[in-house]
Chains A and B, each alone.
Chain A
Amino acid sequence: DTAVSQTPKYLVTQMGNDKSIKCEQNLGHDTMYWYKQDSKKFLKIMFSYNNKELIINETVPNRFSPKSPDKAHLNLHINSLELGDSAVYFCASSQRWAGEKLFFGSGTQLSVL
């Protein structure tokens, strides 16, 4: 069983569309995250979600909204996609807090045309 799984693996879409990326972890972890990795491989935190508390990186546009139906799932919804949103998005989880080992999904490569 994959510990952190995200779907889809690849997502190609047009500017202006709305899309979602799903993430599930079967590790029983309390905290989940979304990271964005740009073309230069820089991995940047977008959101942290712990026990229904959402912490948002203030540089993330409000077109991005994480949604957590339960502790094992943290989905990412993106409205009005822009060219600059093209990147690889990674979901991750940790037992309790960020100082512990992070388990990453295999990423979703988003291409906005």
Chain B
Amino acid sequence: EVQLVESGGGLVQSGGSLRLSCGASGFSFSGYWMSWVRQAPGKGLEWVANINTDGSEKYYLDSVKGRLTISRDNAKNSLYLQLTSLRAEDTAVYYCARYNNYYMDVWGKGTTVTVSS
């Protein structure tokens, strides 16, 4: 079964850091681009970042550039999102998704990040 499982969310103070992880199974992880998408409470979906198959290309939402970093470890079938200098507006459910030909065809259940001031 194709599956993505996020972890690492939690409560963090404004200005703090957090590292999210996403474990992939059931497909050849190293052959796919991957994405992070977030959803603030009561709001819509917001794309955050994409990474190519070997991690050499990364694309970010303008408002997170310099603060959030996407990375991957193909040997561990894992995707990561390092969040630093966190702000209240980063509070959201963060979803890991498989990015396949410009669309997200497999999604995880999400992990919640809450930034307190």
The reply to whether chain A is a binding partner of chain B is no
- Chain B residues engaging chain A, CB cutoff 8 angstroms: none
- Chain A residues engaging chain B, CB cutoff 8 angstroms: none
